[in-house]
Structure 1
Amino acid sequence: MYTTSSVFLKTLAEANITHAFVNWGSDHPALLEDLERQRIEKGEAIPRIITCPNEMVALSCAQGYAQITGKPAAVFIHVDVGTQALGGAVHNVDRNRVPVLIYAGAAPFTFNGELPGSRNEFIFWLQDSLDQPNIVRQYMRMTAQINSGKNVNQVVMRALQTAQSDPPGPVYLWARREVMEEPLDESEFGDSSLNTRHWAPIDPATISPRTAANIAQALTYAKRPLIVTSYLGRRPDAVASLVELSERLSIPVYFSCPSSVSFPMEHPHFVGISYGMGENRWLREADVILVLDSDIPWIPVHNVPQSNARIFHIDIDVLKQNMGMFHIDAELVAKADCGLALKAIMEATDTNAIDKELITKRHQEIQTLHNDWIQGLVKAESSSLNSPIITLPLVTSTLRKLVPPKTLYLNEGISNYIPVWSHLRPSRVGSFFTSGASSLGWGLGAAIGAILGKAALPGTNENDFVALIVGDGSFLFGVPSSAYWIARRYDTPFLTVVLNNGGWRSPKLSMLGVHPTGMGSKAHSSHLSVTFGPESPDYSQIAVAAGGAWGRKITQPTEVEEALTEAIRVVREEKRCAVLDIVIEAL
C-alpha cells in the first residue's frame, strides 16, 4: 500500500537527499511502514536512515553534512517536543546558512477512529500544540504544512528549492498523522515523480557593470586597501577569485569571525584574524575596504574605519534580514554571489591604471608583516616545549605535525577560536569549519555528518581524516553520550581533542569586558560559577562508555605527542573514535 509518506520519501530520493538524521516518535508510523516496504521490494530504503538518540545532535549532523557537501540532508523529528529538542542547532543552521530540510509530524486531529492514524495514545492530547511551526519559524527560510498526498511532492520540492537558494538555510515541514497515512493508489504513486530540474535553486546573481567599475576603480587607486571576509569560503571558486584579485592589486585579506577557509592563511597577503576584540590596525588605516560575505566585519566599540574610508559591502545576505539590527557605513551595498562579483570586479579593472611601483611596495610590506605574524606563532610554539603546563600552541602545533595532509578540522574552541585557527593555519578550501554561529554543541554531530557526507558524495572534498578541537563546555553541550553512540553505529570515526580548562572561560571574559575592574575581576573563577570543578569529568571516558571509543586524559606536556600519535592511529587503523581530554591552563 502506498501513502503520503511513500511519495514524501520518494520525492526526497529523487531530489538526491541521501541521508535522513532521524529521531522517531508516535507520529511516524507511515514513514516506518514505507521504509520497510522499500526494503522488501527493492532491498534498500532511500534516504539512508541515521538513528539519532538526540535531536540537536541530529541537526548538527545535518549541518556538518551540508558544510562538507554543499547539499542538504533531511532531519525527521517528533511533534512539538522534538522540534523544541532541536535546541540551539536551529540557530546554528540558520546563521551559518546551510540548507537542511526538517520534517516533524504532528498530533492527529481526529480521535474517534475516523481516519487511519487517528488518536490512539494518551500523548496526542498533550502534544497538540496551538502553533507547532512557530517554535522555529523565525529561523526558517520556509515553514509549510503538508495537507495531502496529492501534492506532497510539490511541497517538498518547493522547500528544497527555497533551502538551497541564496541565502540558503533550513526549512521546516510538518504534517498531521492522518495526512501521512493517507492511502494512495498505485497510479497516484507512479505519477508523483517531478522533473527536479524544474525546481532548481535561484540562479546566483552578480553585481552590475557600473558597481563593478566603481569598486574596481576605488581599489586600483587606493593607497591602503583592505578586504574583510567571514564565510566566502563556502564556494571554492570564490576563494580562487579572491586570491587572484588580492595578487593583482596587492590587497591584504583579513578574517573577521570566520567560519570557513576564505583565503589561504599561508598566503603572504593574509594579514590577520579577529573575533572583534583587540586593535585592528589594518581596518583603522585602510582608505578603501571591501567587505565580502561577512556578518560582523568589525565591532564598532573596538575598531572603526577612518571616517573618510570608502566602504563597499557585497554579500549573499547583505541586509541580514533575520537579524534584529545590523549596519555598517558602506557607500554601496549589493546582494550578490561574491564569486561572480569578484570576477566582475577583475574584468572591470583597468590594468593600465595600476601603479605597479605602489603595488610592488605594498606587496613587500604586506609580506613582511605576514612573515612577522608567522614567526610570532612559531616562537610561541617553540617556547611551549619548555612550559610546565600544557599550552594551546603545543597542542595545535603537535596536531598539525602529526595529522594526515588531507585533514578536515572542526574548530569549536570558542574562547580559543583564534589560537586554534592561527596555529593550524589552514590554507586548503573546505579543510576547516566552525559552526558559523553561537550555539555550543555543534562539533560532535558535525564530525559525524561530515564523514557521512564525504562518503555519500565522493569528489566533493579531499578530506580523509577528521579532527575536532573542542572546549570542555562545548563538548558537554554536544551530548557526547548520543554522538559517540551514533559514530560507532555508523562507522564514522574521528579524533576529538578536548581543550579542558575546567569550565566556561567565555562568560568570565564577557564579564571582564564590561566590568574590567569590578568585584568579579578579583574573584576566583569558582566563585563566579563558571567552573566544572573541583572534580571535572573525565571526558574521554564518556566517549568510551557511550560508543566504544579510545580515550585518555593528558595532564603533562611530555605526554602530548605520544598520546596524539596513538589517537590518530586508533582512528585510522582501528576505525573508531579517539578522544583526548587535554588539561590546559585552568580558568
Structure 2
Amino acid sequence: MSTRVESKDYVGGEQPPATEHTSETAEAYVQALVAQGVQCLFLNPGTDTFPIQEALSKLEQLGQPVPRTVLCLFEVVALAAAHGYYAATGQPQAVLVHVDVGTQNLGGTLHDAQRGRAAVLICAGRTPITADPRQRGTRDTYIHWLQEQFDQHGIVRNFVKWEYELRRSEQIGEVVARAFQIAASDPPGPVYLTLPREVLMAEMAEVTLFTREQVPPARLGAGDPDALREVAGRLVRSERPLVLTATTGRSPQGFHGLVRLAELLALPVVERRERNNFPTSHALHQGFQPGPLLESADLLLVLDHDVPYIPTQTRPHPDATIVQIDLDPVKERIPLWNFPVTLPVRADTSRALDLIVDYARELLTEDARQRIEARRAAFTANQQQ
C-alpha cells in the first residue's frame, strides 16, 4: 500500500516523491533501490547484512518488486560483476558487502571502478554501535567488537566520489537517491555508504522515496561550442592529424560519432583496448600503439584517454597541437598528470563529436578536401598492401 505526498507540499520537481509504508529501515532501503531503478543487488553477505536479506525475502513474498539478488562468494566478484553490468547497460549498479573486512576485500576492483568511471553504489554494513540488550540490532557476537575501526570509510576514501554513513531511518530515501545521483553525474564513479545494523533494524512507519527522474545526475553535454568550433578548424587545417582514444566507444553515440568524424576528415585512429572505439577493419584504424604516427603528427586529438602515450617510449613533436576532449580533460583525480595539452575541452564526446563534424563541414575548402582525400588514399593503399 502506498500514498502520495501532495504536489503543493513538494517543490523539488513536477512529480512528488512516493511515500511507501514499511516496518523496518532495511525494507525501506530495498524500496529505495527499486525506486532508483536498480535491477540487481550484487551481495556478499555477513552478520550485518541479514536485515536486508530478510527484507528482500519478505517484500518478494508480499508481491512487491525487489532487485534480483546476485550472490557473490567473494567481494571482488561482486564489484567486478557490477562494474561489468554498468559497462554493458550504462545504468548505475548496487553492491552490498559486510563491514570493514568486506570493504577491504573489494581490493583492486575498487581501483578498477574508480579509474574505469563505474557508477556503482557500494554499501557496507557497520559494526553495531551499541551493546545495549534493549536495542534491536545491538552487538551480540564476538566479532562485533573486532570489526569496528576508527575510520572504516578511510579504506575507500581515495577511491570514491562520495561517502556517507546512514544515521537516521527517515534519511534512507534521500540518502540512496543522493548516492546514485553523485555516482552517475559526469564524470561517473563509485560511491560508498555504510549502514549501521541498529539503524537497519529500526522500526519506521513509512519512507519517502525518490526516483532517478526526480533526482537526476548532472551531465556535461557537448561542451563549449566556441571551443568545439576551434577544434574543428584545427582539424581541417591539419596536415598530419592523429586521434588517440581509450573509452569513446563506451556508448554507441561515441563510437559512431568518432567514425563519422574520422571518415569526414580522414583521421587515423589509434585506440587503447579498453572499449571497442573504432572498427578494427577500417582503413583509418592504425592499431593500438601510436608509434611513428604520434611523433610526426602536427595535431593530436586525444579523446577519453588517461595515458595517451608513455613519455619514456615516445613523445609528440614539440610543435604539435594537442587537443584533449574528456569528461575530465585535466585529470583532477590523478595527482601527477604531466601530458601537455594545448586545448582542453570538458565535454561528453558522445555529444561533442557530432558538433565537431557539423562545424568541420562548414569549414572545408577545396584545398582542404584535396588534402583530406590524399590522406585517405594513402591509408587505404597501406591497408591493401
Deviation per residue, 1:298-351 (Å, 9 max, x gap): 111111111111111110121222222113211111111012221221222234
Q: Structure 2 regions of 5+ residues with no counterpart?
A: 1-21
Residue aligning to 1:89: 109
1:39 correspondence with 2:60:
yes
Residue aligning to 2:48: 27
Contact 1:35-1:45 within 8 A present in 2 as well: no
Residue aligning to 2:292: 281
Deviation per residue, 1:143-185 (Å, 9 max, x gap): 1111112011111011101111111111111021101111012
CA RMSD of aligned residues (A): 1.5
Residue aligning to 1:482: none
Q: Identify which of 234, 245, 257 aligns with 2:250.
A: 234
Describe the SS at the equivalent of 1:330.
coil
Distance in 2 between the 1:298 and 1:228 partners? Answer: 9
Distance in 1 between the 2:223 and 2:84 partners? Answer: 30
Residue aligning to 1:362: 375
Contact 1:241-1:342 within 8 A present in 2 as well: yes
Contact 1:4-1:148 within 8 A present in 2 as well: no
Q: Identify which of 143, 150, 169 aligns with 1:130.
A: 150
- Correspondences of 1:420-569 after superposition (within 5 Å): none
Contact 1:101-1:159 within 8 A present in 2 as well: yes
Residue aligning to 1:197: 213
Describe the SS at the equivalent of 1:174.
strand
Higher helix share: 1
Distance in 2 between the 1:159 and 1:366 partners? Answer: 47
Q: Identify which of 297, 303, 308 aligns with 2:308.
A: 297
Q: Identify which of 304, 316, 340 aligns with 1:329.
A: 340
Distance in 2 between the 1:79 and 1:86 partners? Answer: 11
Residue aligning to 2:122: 102
Contact 1:227-1:252 within 8 A present in 2 as well: yes
Residue aligning to 2:260: 244
Describe the SS at the equivalent of 2:164.
strand
Residue aligning to 1:144: 164
Residue aligning to 1:184: 204
Residue aligning to 2:287: 272
Describe the SS at the equivalent of 1:68.
helix
Residue aligning to 2:30: 9
Distance in 2 between the 1:344 and 1:123 partners? Answer: 58
1:307 correspondence with 2:327:
no
Contact 1:271-1:369 within 8 A present in 2 as well: no
Residue aligning to 1:173: 193
Distance in 2 between the 1:90 and 1:110 partners? Answer: 30
Distance in 2 between the 1:250 and 1:45 partners? Answer: 51
Displacement of 1:195: 4.0
The one-letter code matched in structure 2 to 1:339 is: S
Contact 2:26-2:52 within 8 A present in 1 as well: yes
Distance in 2 between the 1:32 and 1:240 partners? Answer: 42
Displacement of 1:207: 2.4
Describe the SS at the equivalent of 1:311.
strand
Contact 1:232-1:239 within 8 A present in 2 as well: yes
Q: Identify which of 365, 368, 371 aligns with 1:353.
A: 365
Q: Structure 1 regions of 5+ residues with no counterpart?
A: 373-587
Contact 1:139-1:322 within 8 A present in 2 as well: no
Contact 2:243-2:268 within 8 A present in 1 as well: yes
Contact 1:63-1:98 within 8 A present in 2 as well: yes
- Correspondences of 1:392-407 after superposition (within 5 Å): none
Distance in 1 between the 2:73 and 2:364 partners? Answer: 62
Contact 2:37-2:211 within 8 A present in 1 as well: no
Percent of residue pairs identical = 33
More deviation in 75-84 or 336-345? Answer: 336-345
Contact 1:207-1:344 within 8 A present in 2 as well: no
Deviation per residue, 1:87-136 (Å, 9 max, x gap): 11101111111111111000011102242101111101000111111101
Contact 1:270-1:370 within 8 A present in 2 as well: no
Describe the SS at the equivalent of 2:345.
strand
Task: Please list every run of at least 4 consecutive aligned residues from structure 1 whose deviation after the TM superposition is greater than 4 angstroms.
Answer: none
The one-letter code matched in structure 2 to 1:273 is: F
Q: Identify which of 347, 350, 353 aligns with 1:339.
A: 350
Describe the SS at the equivalent of 2:306.
coil
Displacement of 1:8: 0.8
Displacement of 1:74: 1.2
Residue aligning to 2:88: 68
Displacement of 1:352: 4.0
Contact 2:181-2:212 within 8 A present in 1 as well: no
Deviation per residue, 1:382-404 (Å, 9 max, x gap): xxxxxxxxxxxxxxxxxxxxxxx
The one-letter code matched in structure 2 to 1:336 is: A
Distance in 2 between the 1:194 and 1:128 partners? Answer: 31
Deviation per residue, 1:416-436 (Å, 9 max, x gap): xxxxxxxxxxxxxxxxxxxxx
Distance in 2 between the 1:237 and 1:167 partners? Answer: 17
Distance in 1 between the 2:374 and 2:296 partners? Answer: 16
Distance in 1 between the 2:185 and 2:110 partners? Answer: 18
Contact 2:36-2:210 within 8 A present in 1 as well: no
Do the aligned partners of residues 284 and 61 (structure 1) sit closer, same or farther apart at CA in structure 2, a change above 3 Å counting? same
Distance in 1 between the 2:304 and 2:364 partners? Answer: 29
The one-letter code matched in structure 1 to 2:273 is: P
Deviation per residue, 1:509-558 (Å, 9 max, x gap): xxxxxxxxxxxxxxxxxxxxxxxxxxxxxxxxxxxxxxxxxxxxxxxxxx
Describe the SS at the equivalent of 1:295.
coil
